[in-house]
Amino acid sequence: MSPQPAPYSNDPVFLRHDLMIEIGRIDMALAEFRQRVVVSERSPALASLEQRRAKLEDALTRLAI
């Protein structure tokens, strides 16, 4: 592997793509978590996933393409 970073690592299109993939992964985790746990229960894991998703969504909206 080359020690130099890939030339597209700071490209907004690739950053947007990576953010969207991560948001999708978190959405799948949230859906699975909500299926397994009673909705009225609030757990730290659920709150953590929701906070992570909100941060990624914020980063995505700030990323101008």
pLDDT over threshold 60, residue 3: no
Predicted TM-score (pTM) of this structure: 0.75
The answer to whether residues 23 and 57 touch, using CB atoms and an 8 Å cutoff, is: yes
Which pLDDT tens digit goes with each residue over 11-38?
888 899 999 999 999 999 999 888 887 6
Closest CA to 32 of 17, 21, 19, 45: 45
Tell me the residue length of the chain: 65
Higher pLDDT, 33 or 40: 33
Closest CA to 30 of 45, 10, 20: 45
Distance of CA 28 to the CA centre of its chain: 10
Closest CA to 60 of 6, 8, 24, 9: 24
